[in-house]
Structure 1
Amino acid sequence: MPLLDHLRELRTRLIRAVIAIAVGSIVGFIFYEEIIDFLIEPVCEAGVEGVSDKQCGALVVTGVIGPLALQLKVALYVGLVISLPLWLWQLWAFLAPGLHRREKRWAYLFVFIGGPLFCAGGALAYIILPTAVRILLGFNPGNVSNLVSLDEYLDFVLRMLFVFGLSFELPLILITLNLAGVISAAQIRSWWRQMVFGIAVFAAIATPTPDPYSMIALMTPMTVLYGVAIIVTTLMDRKARKRAVLTGEHEDLP
């Protein structure tokens, strides 16, 4: 395809992606109150002194245009999330014609496995949010009120969801590298000490609370998923060796 045709194709895909995000943002704007109630629920559940059951008084919005800016920000985030399948499909439709069959298989692996793994990590982050909020706000001196900006709190929640969701992609990254021939299952198994130590360090840094419970809550599933990656890559390497023996190419395998 000539360069100009590529640019026209890219423009078409971008316009469709923007329209999908805009429609999703309108939905987020309409259901703004319900979304905010869902996001601030961990603060209400934390039972922190000064936080009412109905209004969560520790959270405040400042400025004249603060409420409108916050609503637009939440609507945009919601639009990006709920239109994710549509704009990812536009990205895929633009890139797919230039990919080989094996590369397309890797892409399908990322889409159909990576999505649920990311959602599982985000769900875990939301579950431990009340504990994290309770511990963090517990450092506040008893004679000082702590008024948390709702905009700052939402950034904190989104960062937690993103970090936990991204950490759950570890097995998918290892499996993809194995499929690409970059690393073998034997190498992944031999790194288990370094990997467990690295997971522990990552969990300690990624979790915002100093208590060990949040760290363990992230470290445990990541370690289990690392074990799953070892099992899957081992099975794939065995299958590749059997196929290579049948085709007479086993001498090239590691």
Structure 2
Amino acid sequence: MTLVEHLQELRRRVIISLVAIVIGAIIGFIWYQNTPPGIMPLGEIIRRPYCNIPAEFRADFTNDGTCRLLATGPFEMFMLRFKIGALAGLVLASPVWLYQIWAFITPGLHKNEKRYTFTFVTLAVLLFVAGALLAYFVLDKGLYVLLTIGGEVQVGGLTGHSYYSFLIGLVLIFGVSFELPLIVIMLNIAGLLRYEHVKDKRRGIIVGLFIFAAFMTPGQDPLSMVVLGTSMCLLVELAFQFCRFNDKRKHRERPEWMDVGDEEASSPVGRAQPVGAASPIHASGPVGAAGSTGGTPRASAIARPEPIAPARPVSPPAGNQPAPRTDTPPAYGAGMFDDVL
């Protein structure tokens, strides 16, 4: 394909992905409040962690005990519903746009690269979903802890904007953080990271993961930090064990000279093995004979070419005898060029 054809294919796949996302966003916008019987509305699913808090620890804006979030702007409710619908559309349309990405890059990959790419994309989606579900569970439990601290002197009355922003940020942070072990595995398969490089650095890695969790969690609450840090440590440890198994399978051993200090000498080099004697070359047979001698096949000799007979002189036709030729040129003398002069 030419460059123009590649760009046309890319445009077609982007348009298909955008149409699927728009259709999914429309479904999510409707699902936010209106659903068939037996299916919980999307807004109710998102609001449930807040509504699970006891009524005495959250503000009542309706005077009838109904769980509601507070809106402080005229367009806030519409924009929140639009954002949640767009996010739901992105998730619902993920099989379509992931397939379009896969179909665009597949023709340029080898067979083993296609297999690895499909495996990594599948694992990436599963890890992101697992992180998002864990974030929802953490919000369900952690929000109770956050809003009940100091409940004797204050009541939690959250706005829809602050609550949804906190929820979306927590889901994205957990989902993206769960991709870290997959990156470690990819580096190990590519040969850029070995188990020997990280097996003695676990303490520093654990401290770094917890520092990352403390800074990246939206609420900076201890529960979210502990859950995110612990989960990342477990997943990274699983990735390290995969690196250990993969290195053993490929027989990647640490060379002896890498463990020798700069001021130390390595072990002496062993004596080289003697080179074996060369096998004898059998003499060829006589010219014109064919066969084998001593078990070694002998090529048949080339026959002597027949001699070429000398050419016979061609006699001239009768009645037109040419003058006889002499091999000696005539002698030059006086009077030879008188007729010319």
2:58 aligned partner, one-letter code: E
Counterpart in the other structure of 1:7: 7
* Structure 1: 5+ residue stretches without partners: 245-249
Q: For the pair shown, which has the larger CA radius of gyration, 1 or 2?
A: 2
For residue 60 of structure 1, report the CA deviation from its aligned partner.
1.6
Counterpart in the other structure of 1:111: 121
Q: Distance in 2 between matches of 1:128 and 1:226?
A: 20
Answer with 8-17 or 128-137: which moved more: 128-137
Q: 1:49 aligns with which of 50, 55, 58?
A: 58
Q: Distance in 2 between matches of 1:234 and 1:216?
A: 27
CA RMSD, Structure 1 to Structure 2 (Å):
2.7
Answer with 131-140 or 104-113: which moved more: 131-140
Counterpart in the other structure of 1:62: 72
TM-score, normalised to structure 1, is 0.85
Q: Deviations over 1:196-217 (max 9, x none)?
A: 1111112222334555333222
Q: 2:205 aligns with which of 195, 202, 221?
A: 195
1:221 aligned partner, one-letter code: S
Q: Distance in 1 between matches of 2:12 and 2:221?
A: 49
Q: Distance in 2 between matches of 1:218 and 1:75?
A: 27
Answer with 141-150 or 153-162: which moved more: 141-150
Please state if 1:23 is matched with 2:33.
no
Q: 2:242 aligns with which of 218, 232, 237?
A: 232
Structure 2 matches for 1:116-155, cutoff 5 A? 116-138=126-148, 147-155=157-165
Q: Relative to 1, partners in 2 of residues 1:211 and 1:32: Cα closer, same or farther, differing over 3 Å? A: closer
Contact conserved, 1:140 with 1:146, CA < 8 A, in 2? no
TM-score, normalised to structure 2, is 0.65
Contact conserved, 1:132 with 1:209, CA < 8 A, in 2? no
Contact conserved, 2:60 with 2:67, CA < 8 A, in 1? yes
Counterpart in the other structure of 2:194: 184
* Structure 2: 5+ residue stretches without partners: 34-40, 259-341
More helix by share: 1
Answer with 93-102 or 37-46: which moved more: 93-102
Query: What secondary structure sits across from 1:190 in the alignment?
Result: coil
Q: Distance in 2 between matches of 1:71 and 1:208?
A: 21
Counterpart in the other structure of 2:172: 162
